[in-house]
Amino acid sequence: MGKIRVQPAITEDNIAGIINVNQRLLDEENQPKFGSIGLRQEVLLFRGNFVTVEKRVGYLNGTLSDLERVVDEYNLRPDEGVPDSFNKKLVIQESLEKSWETQNPKINPTTGEVLTYMGHPIYRRCLVVDKDSPEEDVYIIADNTVAGRSLHQNELSQNEIDQQFGPRGAKTVLNSL
């Protein structure tokens, strides 16, 4: 796996060029309280005799004071690698269900089409977990069926897929990309 690097802040309101300040979640004094630190990593993926470079971006979320402590304790700087003592990894998990309400589905970058499996959009998230966590990458291969059918109209629900292939968070990979 490639080394995790600190992503420069993407919000105009930031701390140390690293911590993105969330202006939507304010404390009782109408001040921002939460933020995130972006982490990125390039990983070599081997699928049979074919190799690709996958670019991952995950966010470490927390209160601004806790995130400032992380920046200080690990001496994090924009566009630089994190020290080995940081002890984290970025894990990709794909699902047929949204991880948050406003999440957008995966899009084919060439055609702009939503990627689907059995008619359901595929959603992707990147988790920041401890290096020794059992969490592993979980991919769902797109089958190009028409998106938009409800789970009740589909042959398999997420629960049925979990029963067949193991629950999300398990070491099972549904399909490789």
* Residue-wise burial string across 96-131, b where 16 or more C-beta atoms lie within 10 A, e elsewhere: beeeeeeeebbeeeeeeebbbbbbbbbbbebbbeee
129 by DSSP, 3-state: which? strand
164: which 2 tokens?
């067949």
Q: What is the largest CA-CA distance in the chain?
A: 57
Q: How many CA atoms lie within 13 A of 95 on its CB side?
A: 17
- At 115 the pLDDT is 93
Beta carbons within 10 angstroms of residue 91's beta carbon: 19
Q: For the chain, which residues make up each domain, given as ranges?
A: 1-86, 89-177
**Cβ count near 140 (within 10 Å):** 25
CA distances from 4 to 1, 143, 147 (A): 9, 31, 34
For position 48, what pLDDT does the model report? 84
Instruction: Show the tokens assigned to 148.
Output: 């938009």
Q: Residue 61, class by beta-carbon neighbours within 10 Å (0-12 exposed, 13-18 middle, 19+ buried)?
A: middle
Per-residue pLDDT of the chain (177 residues; tens, 9 = 90+): 689 999 999 888 888 899 988 877 766 677 778 999 999 999 998 888 899 999 999 999 999 999 999 999 999 999 999 999 999 999 999 999 999 999 999 998 898 999 999 989 999 999 999 999 999 999 998 887 765 544 444 445 555 556 555 555 444 344 433
pLDDT recorded at residue 171: 41
Q: Is the dihedral of CA 103, 108, 111, 113 positive or negative?
A: negative
Amino acid at 69: R
